[in-house]
Structure 1
């Protein structure tokens, strides 16, 4: 099929220029290659395409009809193989996955983006579990921590710190834990890890981990976790961007900051290598700019 398309393109060029040598120059091939292409098409169609002599060529009646049909078919093929676009190319759907904890940050950004580009449809999947990017046909993703698939095309956005926090009222009643071991004596608020059915493990300096044991409030939503720890239900480990506003208002206090783990990278990624549609590239660049500030 590819060879036949090449034959048709050579024929159309010869039909337009009415000269085999000029066609060869334009196509950067030899005049003999043009002649052979025309001869092959004549064998395939069983019809003469050009009247030829030593000085000029001229389309036959069949050649004129064939040229008209070739122009239409090649134009349709070019349109089919060109990037699917409307106007500036900004149309179609983009499916994005991101941690549910980023709802308050990502939501306003995507609403602004959607308002600026009315022909783009956004499908946002918020989850604190790793998405099955192939099964869910994800175009873009945001993830804190190391990406499990090294084939992803990823760019770093920022860092996410994990802070141990509790409300002033809770600490007044139960006291400050003096060590990580003392966490066993405190009530805890934790996120549910759906993969294990247990609370998410807490991470600390030098690779130390802690499995929450005295969980008074178990949730599957980061904002609800923050609300529960702010209400004084226990100690929790939360992302810095969630905790910071409540810390600034004095509704939470940090605990054992000397054990904070190394901040995790926050990455924007594309699951698939290869061509990128204009709409996906636009959102990729927009999020990279906005979330790197």
Structure 2
């Protein structure tokens, strides 16, 4: 069993590194040792775990799925192996800095932190909501939420749930302009545009088979997802929204899901923390509550 656990540990570190050489340095072994371990795992699972090139390695889709299972399993094992009382001598206290997109502030972050505050009154919570791509390490972020798989070796990330991207509209707008019969039909309809504050340009809408469509003449432009959703609920335009925002309104009949057959595959929502050795109890407490809160968000199936 120890050999199998060590192989999975090598896989986790390699997935969080940019190359086999970097993984070898972090584990105190040779690149050849990393290669042999990965080859043994690939032979065991009958699947390729990494695409190799002379310059970098890139995890495969199967590897991503395996990593999502391996990370929590290894963390659980490490918790079980820790001697009783280790790290519990001092009360859980100190500051934890959290970052997340604005749209998840009241939907996931606040409920999670309410529970943290109730259980650990000694923890001070510093929340920085932002839709801007930032350097979490330089900014001293302890725990964050993001959309999409993280390959940055400086972080440990766990997938909390999946997020779908439905195109929606209010019934009153559909009664007025009708249903779009395809993606191209959106160009002749009132649509919203969500501004990417990192570039100042509209975010493209995503559809199946990797197709993207960017509103050329939007009827409503916003740099805030809740403002965009408000415009849709008011019947001003069609929009592509995260399902954790749209699902309750679809269920109540306030919004209608259209072009469902054109929706892209679900995206992952991840909770992450910098990888800095032993995890302080205060950071673990916040991380676990955020993971649970994001996993409980409304969703479309």
User: Do 2:163 and 2:269's aligned partners in 1 also have CA atoms closer than 8 Å?
Assistant: yes
Mapped pair 1:287 → 2:290: yes
Mapped pair 1:246 → 2:253: no
| Superposition CA RMSD, Å | 1.9
Which of 193, 196, 199 aligns to 1:193? It is 196
Unaligned runs of 5+ in 2: 1-85, 297-301
Which of 110, 126, 141 aligns to 2:113? It is 110
Please give the TM-score of this superposition, normalised by the length of structure 2: 0.66
Displacement of 1:198 in angstroms is 1.3
Alignment length (residue pairs): 210
User: Do 1:162 and 1:239's aligned partners in 2 also have CA atoms closer than 8 Å?
Assistant: yes
Within 5 A, what are the aligned runs for 1:224-243? Answer: 224-243=227-246
My pick for the range that moved more, 215-224 or 282-291, is 282-291
SS at match of 2:271: strand
Distance 1:190 1:112 in 2: 35
Distance 2:185 2:203 in 1: 18
Within 5 A, what are the aligned runs for 1:54-203? Answer: 88-106=90-108, 107-147=110-150, 149-203=152-206
Give the structure with higher Rg (CA): 1
User: Do 2:196 and 2:202's aligned partners in 1 also have CA atoms closer than 8 Å?
Assistant: yes
Unaligned runs of 5+ in 1: 1-81
Distance 2:289 2:271 in 1: 11
Distance 1:195 1:115 in 2: 36
For residues 230-289 of structure 1, what are the alpha-carbon distances to aligned partners after superposition, in whole Å with 9 as ceiling and x for unaligned? 101111000111001111121110110001110001111112331211110121122223
Please give the TM-score of this superposition, normalised by the length of structure 1: 0.67
My pick for the range that moved more, 226-235 or 188-197, is 188-197
| Runs of 4+ displaced beyond 4 Å | none
For residues 157-189 of structure 1, what are the alpha-carbon distances to aligned partners after superposition, in whole Å with 9 as ceiling and x for unaligned? 110011100111111111111110111101111
